[in-house]
Structures are given as C-alpha cells and as structure tokens.
Chain A
Amino acid sequence: MSARPAKLTRDTSWKHEATGLAWISPWVIGFLAFTAGPIVMSLYYSVTDYSLLEKPVFIGAENYQRLARDEIFVGALKNTLWYAAVSIPLGTIFAIILAAMLNTRIKARALFRAAMFIPTLVPIVASAMVWSWLLNGQIGLLNQALGWIGIKGPDWLGDRHVAMWALILMSVWGAGNAVVIYLAALQDVPTSLYEAADLDGVTWIGKFWHVTLPMISPVILFNVITSIIGTLQVFAVPYIMTGGGPDRSTYFFTMYLYDNAFRYLNMGYASAMAWVQLVIILALTALTFWLSRKLVFYRSA
C-alpha cells in the first residue's frame, strides 16, 4: 500500500511541477537571459576594464577606487541625493494634500481626480518637451504668469542655480500616481474613528494628524520607498530637458552611468557605478524602514 501510491504521488507532483514550469518557461528563460544573466555579468564587468568590444581585463577594485575620486561622479551623486531629498518629501506632502482635498465632498470630484491622474498618462518625453517650453526664460508661460504679479522669473533651465528646482517642480507635478494610492488609503480609514474624534471635539487638523496620517502611514511608507528607488534612478526628464546642464548642475547618477556605458564605452566603470547605485538604494531603503518603525501604524486584523 505504501510504496506504490507514494511513487505515483511523487510522479504526479513532478509532472505537475514540470507542466507548471513548462508554462512559465518563457518568463523563466527571459528572466535568466535578460535580467539575471546581465546582473551577474555586470558584477563581473565591474571589476574589469571592458569596452564592449575588447576582451575584459581584470583590474580588481580599481573602478570602485576611481569612482571615489571622480569629481563628475561625486557631483552627479550629490545632485541625485539633493534631488531625492527635496522632491520626495515635497512630492509626498503635495500628493497627500491633494488626495485629502479630493477625498472631500466637492463638486465634480471625479473630474478633479481624473485631472490629477492625467499627467502620469502623458508620455514622459512629451511632458518633458512641454515643460521645457513652459519654463522658457523669455516666452515661457510660467514666467509670464510671474510677470503679471510683478516678479521677474529666472531662466529656469539655463541658470545653474535654479535648473534643479525646475526639475523638482516638474517631478511634483507628476504626483498623480501617488495621489490615487493615497486616495484609496484615505477611503479605507474607518469612519467610526472620525465619528469618535467628533464626539471628543477634535478639530479637522487634529483628525488629520491623529487619525488620518497614522491610518495611512503604511501607504506613505510604501510610496516613499518606491519614490526613493525611482528618484535615485531619474534619467529621462533631465536627459531631455537639460541634458545635464548647465555645467552639469542637473547631471544625475544614471545619466553618468549611461554616458560611460554607451557613449564613452567604459562598460566596466559603468557596471561598478550600477552596483554602487544598488547599494545606495538598498541602504536608503533599509534606513527608511528602520526610521519608520515607530512612525508607521499597522492596524491589527
């Protein structure tokens, strides 16, 4: 009784597994060939001098040592961290405020919600082009609007001291995705908590601070972490709008990585940069989790 059925079960379960694997094999093969393989190879290339065409030459940690004293790399890293440090909090606050406003009973609520989300549907190249015209120093709409209230707007993308702010402004405009997620979280906050707060005579600010924010804090954490990952890899918008200029004031980590990999053909150096980027992202994500221990409130089931 025991031997045969057990074998059959094993056979059946193996067949099930094989069938399952066969069906997902296109993904598995694709993942191994186009994601896992390149990741492993890039780790190897990061300790070599490799230009794509020539044989990689093993050079140990030299690429990493060079990165530490490469002024352009350090500048690009500083720019990226500064951009993240400003745009993530600003984008988060802006998105929460917008979501809270859209969560009230205003007229044409659906229209406003759609309007908030539309920027995320616009192809990034198109929105970057439109923004570069909006931010034009002389004929841009933004400076014209500032002109009406007597302010002489700067040359947003041409001045190294304000170009970064122009990009931050644009990143905040694209907060529609986060708004939708916050809106869903806000609608999930039990009304009984607000009713209890009402009975205690809590003001709307008090309710927002003591009820809403704690209840949506896991969602804020999720959005902040995805923003950290996304923002530290920012590429397309500055690449199109400023090309990293003026004088590399908006030159970001991923742009320098791309230039080294595909334009200067320092693939080994670029691979080292990619691994440094991964470590930075992992470290910042871990730090965020650690900092959030006492700030994030998880409802028990």
Chain B
Amino acid sequence: MRQDDQNHAGSDRALGALSRRAALGALVLGGAAFVAFGPDSGKDRLRKKYPGRVVLDYWEKWPGAEALAMQSIVDDFNRSQDRIYVRFLTMGGAIDQKALVAIAGGNPPDVLGLYAYNVPHFAESGAIVPLDDTFASRGLSESHYAPIVWKMLRHEGRTWAGVSTVGTLALYYNKAMFREAGLDRAPRTIEELDEFAGRLTKIDKQQVAQSKFGFLPTEPGWWPYVWVWPFGGKLFESPEKPGDAGKATTDDPANLAAYRWVQSYPTKYGGDLITAFSSGFGNYDSPQQPFLNGMVGMVLQGPWLGNVIKGRKPDLDYGVAPFPALASLNAVDAPYGLAEADILVVPSGSKHPEEAKQFIAYLQQREVIEKLAAIHCKNSPLRESTPEFLANHINRGVRVHDQIAQSPNARTAPRTRVWPQYRDEMSAAFQALWKFDATPEQRLPMVRARLQESLDLIAARRRDRGGLPTTVGERIAS
C-alpha cells in the first residue's frame, strides 16, 4: 500500500511536473512566437506599405465630421509628396491630459493638436519644441496670420505652434424676432443691447416656457469670463520678463462693472424665472437650441453656429454682428471679441521632429487652412482671406468673425499656465454672482487673490528649478 502510494505520488508528481513544464514552456514559446510572428503594429504595416517614407503619428482631439475634414487634409498632404506619411488618430476629449502622460512617458506622437491655451504650460514645461527655425525658413511670420492668432502661437518670445482652426465670438441675432419688435439692425453698444433685449423680451408668467428673451448672459454659458472685455476690463497682465509671475487683474474696476451688468439681467427679469425658462433649453446641436427655436433673440456664439443652423434650421433668418461694447469705448470699428484656436505642436520626444514641422508648415498654407476652416465652419486664422473663401462660406456672417480676428481689440484667454484654474474660478464666481450669493466687489477680489497666489508660486518654482530646459529630452539628460 505504502509502495502503491509512493508510486502514485511519484507518477502524479512526474505528470504534474511535466504538465507544468509543458504549460510554462508553451506560454513562453507562445509569447515569443507572438512577438516574432504576431500581427504588425499599424505603424509597421504603413512602413511596409510605404517603403522609404517616414511615418508620423498625428493626434487630434476632434471626432466626427471635424475629424473627417482633417483626415481629408492629411490625405492631401500624403498625396502631395513621397517622403512622409502621416497617420491621423482621433484621441477624443482631454487630449492635453493624454498627451502630457504620453510625453512624460517618453512615447508621444510626432504631431499633436492642442488648444491655444495649452501653449504656455506645454512650452514652459519643455513638453513641446519651438518652431522658430521652421517658420523662418518658410517665410511664416506675423504678417501671415491675423494678429490675435499670431499671439496665440507664441509664448515668451518664441513660436511654439502652427494653427489649424480659429473661431471668434460674435453676436447672433434672430432677424424675424427683430422685425417683430420693430428693430432693423444689431445693437452697437452694450446700452443698445440692453434696450433691444428689453424690446424683444416677452414674459409669460403662467407658461414660462412660452416666454421669449432678447438676451441672456447665461446662454450658452460657455464663456463666463468673456463679459469683461466689452467693458474695457482685463483678466491678466503678462509679466514684463519671461518667468516672472504676471498679474491677475480679476477685480479691475471695469470687470466689476461688467459683472454688475451681468447681475442686472436676473435683477430685471427675476433669477428664478430665468432659471425656470432656461431649464427647458435643448442641446446646442439640436433644433431645441434656444436661439434656433426663437426662445432667445440674441446669443454670443462662434462661427460654427452656421453649421448647426444649416443642419438643424436652414430657414432661420439670422444676422451676425460684433458683440457690442460700452458706448464710451467707441469700439464699432475695432470690435471686442474672444478668439479661440486649435493649434498644432511637435511634442518633445517626437521621433521625427523635422518631418513633423514640415507637416505643420504644409498646414499653414492659405489654400489648406481655408479648406479646413470652410468645412469646420470657422473664420480663417490668416491676415487675409480669399474672396472665394468668404463668398462660399456656410456662415453668412463669416466676414464679421474675420473682422473681429483682425481687430486690435480681439482677445484671447490669458496666456498663463494657470488658465484652467482661472476659468474654473470665473465659472464658480459667475454662478455665485448670478444667484446673488455675492457681489462682484466681494467675490472677484477673492478670485484674484487665489490666482495671484498660484501665479507667484509657479514663478517661484521656476526660479527654484534654475530656469527651464528647452525640452523634456534635455531635462531627462540633465
């Protein structure tokens, strides 16, 4: 019996050892075989398909139709020469966060599509490489771009990005509602805006959803900080010297006036009533969007609204005008307006930075940039637009958007790396002011103090680090 047990145990052990060994061996062999003979990565397949060409990875944020538009531009580029092949990859939202992780991890794409407000942080951190040489060799300079766009491509005296698209914000107004109220043109000053809004507003207290509003600073509510500029205010003063802190000017007297004006709307019409009215609004890209269905007569929007109107309500009779400013600012010929841009950068650690720069330079050409702007329904980022671009544009107000881009009073989000925090602060402050939980005089100095602390801290850290490396690569080497 004991003998039998031993035999059994011995054979079990042998079997067990064999099967374990076999299983582990098979696993290792399988892994090796997968590595050696497994499917190629997409990039390898492209290298085989286009021998002799450098394959670039280009990450962009857009999904859907906007991505298809850029894909067609990329296809044009790939056909235009035989040295570089660009693989276009849509990464979706939060591309800046994804890119930061990829750059920090040493495996970034070759070309990256970011937002213009990302430039200060990426540049100061050495996460992107400067493009000055490429721009100089291609004759791309300030004179090629709308002034506000050129400002967005640069930081601390260097050029860090090419532009892909830009949009400026303007006032959209419903002409049918205007006619009904006896109005035949857009307001030219804030004072007129308020007056026109009053004439367009018809409140039905029983059936709040049946009311109509002339204008609401909360619609669409995407830019809660934008109101300071038409009042001659400012959010930030850039530092004199690169590396210094800069100054948050959130409680500038003109800003306080702007937010008192914002509060005048719930004061005049009743905050609860506006809230009840607004809660029935549909999504931006739907026929229930309040400007499209005639619930709100005037909105601040970008040129892309033209695409939505064309798709959702093609018969809407709308006009576009610069957003008015205070009469005392005399801004009719030099309108105020926010510009937002999508930009292209070369991340530090790109395997083929020269080819990446070449691709970005290709995208800066007038015909390429206008093709993309037309499909995206945006104004051109360049100093001059071709007559064909303006004439064939989906948005009938594209000239107004272009005028704002060329205006000395066009504005960008503050060029500081604390902007995401600043924007959140302004958003929370707007909500508090709208509900009268605070006055501008109470709230805005608090915002300024918090931001100044962050700005000072960042400047101090820059000094601690003893200046900044040019690229992440240099940082790693040092």
A residues with CB within 8 A of B: 19, 22, 49, 51-55, 57, 71-72, 136-140, 155, 158-160, 244-248, 259, 262-265
Q: Is the CB of A245 within 8 A of B208?
A: no
Q: Is the CB of B100 within 8 A of A265?
A: yes
Per-residue 0/1 for B94-118: is the Cβ within 8 Å of any A Cβ (1 yes, 0 no)?
1001001101100000000000000
Q: Which residues of B contact A244 (CB under 8 A)?
A: 428
Q: Is the CB of B428 within 8 A of A247?
A: yes
A138-B208, A160-B437, A247-B432 in contact; A54/B465 too (CB < 8 A)? yes
Besides A137-B275, A158-B279, A247-B435, 20 other A-B contacts (C-beta < 8 A): A53-B475, A54-B468, A55-B475, A71-B450, A136-B279, A138-B276, A138-B277, A138-B280, A155-B275, A159-B435, A160-B437, A244-B428, A245-B431, A246-B432, A247-B432, A263-B421, A263-B424, A264-B418, A264-B420, A265-B121
Q: Which residues of A contact B421 (CB under 8 A)?
A: 259, 263-264
Q: Is the CB of A19 within 8 A of B432?
A: no
Q: Is B24 an interface residue (CB 8 A)?
A: yes
A22-B24, A54-B475 in contact; A247/B431 too (CB < 8 A)? yes
Whole-angstrom distance between the alpha carbons of A52 and B106 in the complex?
12
Closest B-chain residue to A50, C-beta based? Answer: B461
Shortest distance between the CB of B12 and any CB in chain A (Å): 13
The interface on chain B, measured as residues whose beta carbon lies within 8 A of the other chain's beta carbons, has a size of: 40
Q: Which residues of B contact A265 (CB under 8 A)?
A: 100, 121, 417
Closest B-chain residue to A15, C-beta based? Answer: B17
Closest B-chain residue to A268, C-beta based? Answer: B461
Shortest distance between the CB of A36 and any CB in chain B (Å): 19
Whole-angstrom distance between the alpha carbons of A244 and B474 in the complex?
39
Q: Is the CB of B464 within 8 A of A57?
A: yes
Other-chain contact of B428, A19, A49, A248, A264 (Cβ < 8 Å): A248
Per-residue 0/1 for B440-478: is the Cβ within 8 Å of any A Cβ (1 yes, 0 no)?
000000000010000001000100110010001001000
Whole-angstrom distance between the alpha carbons of A155 and B278 in the complex?
11
Shortest distance between the CB of B40 and any CB in chain A (Å): 25
Other-chain contact of B100, A53, A55, A136, A159 (Cβ < 8 Å): A53
Q: Is B126 an interface residue (CB 8 A)?
A: yes
Q: Which residues of B contact A49 (CB under 8 A)?
A: 457, 461, 464
Shortest distance between the CB of B13 and any CB in chain A (Å): 9
Whole-angstrom distance between the alpha carbons of A298 and B163 in the complex?
68
Shortest distance between the CB of B124 and any CB in chain A (Å): 8
B residues with CB within 8 A of A: 20, 24, 94, 97, 100-101, 103-104, 121, 125-127, 208-209, 272, 275-277, 279-280, 417-418, 420-421, 424, 427-429, 431-432, 435, 437, 450, 457, 461, 464-465, 468, 472, 475
Q: Which residues of A contact B457 (CB under 8 A)?
A: 49
Q: Which residues of A contact B103 (CB under 8 A)?
A: 53
Q: Which residues of B contact A245 (CB under 8 A)?
A: 427-428, 431
Q: Which residues of B contact A158 (CB under 8 A)?
A: 275, 279
Q: Is the CB of A52 within 8 A of B100?
A: yes
A137-B275, A137-B276, A247-B432 in contact; A53/B104 too (CB < 8 A)? yes
Q: Which residues of A contact B475 (CB under 8 A)?
A: 53-55
Other-chain contact of B126, A54, A138, A259 (Cβ < 8 Å): A54
Whole-angstrom distance between the alpha carbons of A259 and B97 in the complex?
11
A137-B276, A245-B431, A248-B428 in contact; A53/B418 too (CB < 8 A)? no
Closest A-chain residue to B126, C-beta based? Answer: A53
Q: Is the CB of B279 within 8 A of A262?
A: no
Q: Which residues of A contact B472 (CB under 8 A)?
A: 53
List 22 contacting pairs A-B, 8 Å CB cutoff, sorted by A: A51-B121, A51-B125, A52-B100, A52-B125, A53-B104, A55-B465, A55-B475, A138-B208, A138-B277, A138-B280, A139-B279, A155-B275, A158-B275, A159-B435, A245-B431, A246-B435, A247-B429, A247-B437, A248-B428, A264-B418, A264-B420, A265-B121
Q: Which residues of B contact A259 (CB under 8 A)?
A: 421, 424
Q: Which residues of A contact B468 (CB under 8 A)?
A: 54
Whole-angstrom distance between the alpha carbons of A50 and B288 in the complex?
45
Q: Is the CB of A139 within 8 A of B280?
A: yes
Q: Which residues of B contact A155 (CB under 8 A)?
A: 272, 275-276, 279
